[in-house]
Amino acid sequence: MASIEQIRLDFPVLDQQVNGSPLIYFDNAATTQKPKVVLEALNKYYSEDNANIHRGIHALAERATAAYELTRKKIQSFLHAESSDQIIFTSGTTASINLVAQTFGRANFEAGDKILVSNLEHHSNIVPWQMIALEKGAEVLVIPVLDSGVLDLDAYQKLLQENTVKLVAVNHVSNAIGTINPIQEMIALAHAHGAKILIDGAQSVAHMEMDVQRFDMDFFAFSAHKLFGPTGVGVLYGKRDLLESMPPYQGGGEMIKEVSFAGTTYNELPYKFEAGTPNIADVIAFSASFDYLNSLEKGWVEEQENALLNYATEQLGQIDGLKIIGTAPNKIAVISFLIEGTHPQDIGVLLDKFGIAIRTGHHCAQPLMQRFDIPGTCRASFSFYNTKEEIDRFVVCLKRVVTMLL
């Protein structure tokens, strides 16, 4: 396999100076960088194949349609889904979750029903359920999180036992603190109590293998830009019987079979959920992300990122006054931290002066910040193209920043 130096050359954005220093990009939980093959695929579509898809009979339309549908097939393989018809393209994880809330939720929720979400969730897996619960007279209940950042599974089981739960919505991995949730156990418990479950996979897809059938997932949502692909593309996987029972989310072209003023019949899966001209170029470019990931040695990505997480945790632990928020035994390569006497935003601004990109704030997880009684954190998140040498420089610069602030 290629060396880490060669791999980094595949990501053009990493080869630049920011404020006079080499860029260190530790904001991978917000979005991952894109390899050359993705950028080239995007350019190729607009340069050679630009056409609308599915209904054209000319050469460009047929090439674009074939490339677009090939991405769907690759996602099916990546998720180990039964059929590519179960792969719905959306604009992102947020749109995928909203689709389920506004279709499955509207068709199935009744007054008094309960929806379980965890205290670890991103706002995009909280607010849609609050909206549909308000409309239908249902109630959102919260799965609590322990001080370590691990979900309280005893409380989860009790909530399932004591309530009429129609749906559980939980992330596979916390974007804010990196906790990996035991979704196989959580799915089995939900099903044992007659509930369906949606897994927000935005933060897990880049770090571990997925198998929606083995885990018996009802719904799984993620975004391309978290998996080295373009922004503006999301995916929703659903079990066939659920997707077929759900009404369309939006009306327009492509999602219909026949339209008349006497009535309209809807298209089959997956197209009944894909109204209008889709984000053709970025879906096609996303295909190249899977080609790139498949070129890497199996298991290497997870091994590399675990090594970075362990090394960074050890090095940061040597800084006086630094406290890591979220110490679950199973984490992806995300470290959220606070330093006594400083504000996260000040640290982020000053680190940027050294060319270091981290994320600061509440990370779209305000309920979790409230749970820990903090305004936000500094978050460093790593990908396989990061290095221990970058972590060393990060720690040196962080110590300088702390000296400047205290």
Residue the block writes with tokens 């989310």:
249
Contacts of 331 (CB under 8 A, 6+ apart): 177, 178, 179, 180, 309
From the CB of residue 16, how many other CB atoms can be counted at a distance below 10 Å? 10
Report how far residue 94's alpha carbon sits from residue 229's, in angstroms, rounded to the nearest whole number: 16
Q: Are strands 196-200 and 165-171 parallel, antiparallel or unpaired?
A: parallel
Least confident of 100-104, 257-261, 388-392: 257-261
| Average pLDDT value for residue range 169-194 | 98
**Three-state DSSP class for 323?**
strand
| Average pLDDT value for residue range 189-197 | 98
Under the banding of pLDDT at 50, 70 and 90, the label for residue 182 is: very high
- Return the structure tokens found at 85: 């018809």
| Average pLDDT value for residue range 47-63 | 95
- Return the structure tokens found at 277: 């001209």
Q: Residue 372's pLDDT is what?
A: 97
Residue the block writes with tokens 């950042």:
149
By C-alpha distance, which of 61, 118, 130, 85 is closest to 268?
85
Q: Residue 329's pLDDT is what?
A: 96
**Tens of pLDDT, residues 112-145:** 999 999 999 999 999 999 999 999 999 999 999 9
Q: Residue 298's pLDDT is what?
A: 86
**Three-state DSSP class for 245?**
helix
Residue ranges and CATH numbers for the domains of the chain are: 4-27+297-405 (3.90.1150.10), 51-294 (3.40.640.10)
Report how far residue 79's alpha carbon sits from residue 290's, in angstroms, rounded to the nearest whole number: 11
Q: Residue 195's pLDDT is what?
A: 98
Mean pLDDT across the chain = 97
Give the catalytic positions in this structure: 364
By C-alpha distance, which of 150, 171, 168, 202 is closest to 325?
150
Report the residue count for the chain.
406
- Return the structure tokens found at 26: 């530790």
The model's pTM is 0.97
Is the N-terminal amide bond of 329 cis, ω within 30° of 0? no
| Average pLDDT value for residue range 141-166 | 98
> 167: which strand partners?
115, 196
Q: Residue 16's pLDDT is what?
A: 98
Q: Is the dihedral of CA 372, 401, 28, 334 positive or negative?
A: negative
| Average pLDDT value for residue range 206-214 | 96
For the cut 90, the answer to whether the pLDDT of residue 107 exceeds it is: yes
Q: Residue 1's pLDDT is what?
A: 75
E runs forming strands in 204-304: 219-223, 234-238, 256-260, 263-266
Report how far residue 336's alpha carbon sits from residue 399's, in angstroms, rounded to the nearest whole number: 16
**Tens of pLDDT, residues 12-50:** 999 999 999 999 999 999 999 999 999 999 999 999 999
Report how far residue 301's alpha carbon sits from residue 306's, in angstroms, rounded to the nearest whole number: 9
Under the banding of pLDDT at 50, 70 and 90, the label for residue 82 is: very high
Q: Are strands 165-171 and 114-118 parallel, antiparallel or unpaired?
A: parallel
Least confident of 50-54, 252-256, 341-345, 398-402: 252-256
For the cut 90, the answer to whether the pLDDT of residue 334 exceeds it is: yes
By C-alpha distance, which of 74, 127, 96, 31 is closest to 291?
74
Q: Residue 2's pLDDT is what?
A: 87
Under the banding of pLDDT at 50, 70 and 90, the label for residue 387 is: very high
